[in-house]
Amino acid sequence: MGNLQPLSPDLNEECRAFAEALRSLFAGLWPTVSVRRYSSRRHLSPGALSRYLSGQRIPSWQFVQDLLTDVGADRGTVATLETVELLRSLHAAALRTSASVGHAVQQLQFQLAEADRLSRRSAAHSDVLGDALLDKNHRIADLELRLNQLESDWARERARADEVAVYADDRADLLLEKQDLEKEVARLETELGEALRRRLAAEARCELLERQLIAAEQQAGEDPLRIEAAATADTADTAAPTATGRPRVLVVDDQPSNLVALEAVLAAADWDVLAVTSGPDALKALLQHNDIAVIVLDVQMPGMDGYATAAQIKGRAQTRDIPIIFVTAIGSDPENVLRGYDAGAVDFIVKPFDPWLLRAKVTALTGMYLNYRGTPRPAPANRPPHTTTDWLLPSPATPAPPHQPP
Q: How confident is the model at residue 404 (pLDDT cuts 50, 70, 90)?
A: very low
Residue 20 confidence (pLDDT) above 70: yes
The pLDDT, as a whole number, for residue 380 is 41
Per-residue pLDDT tens over the stretch 275-312? 999 999 999 999 999 889 999 999 989 999 999 999 99
Contact 225, 364 (CB under 8 A): no
CA distance 46 to 35: 6
Q: For the ranges 5-19, 97-111, 330-344, 383-397, which has the lowest average pLDDT?
A: 383-397
Mean predicted lDDT score pLDDT of the chain: 79
365 C-beta neighbours (distance < 10 Å), count: 29
Element (H, E) at 99: none
More confident residue, 293 or 335: 293
The pLDDT, as a whole number, for residue 405 is 44
CA distance 252 to 379: 27
Q: How confident is the model at residue 199 (pLDDT cuts 50, 70, 90)?
A: confident
Strands (DSSP E) found in 171-210: none
Residue 208 confidence (pLDDT) above 90: no
pTM of the complete model beyond 0.85: no
The pLDDT, as a whole number, for residue 298 is 92
Q: For the ranges 103-107, 283-287, 296-300, 399-403, which has the lowest average pLDDT?
A: 399-403
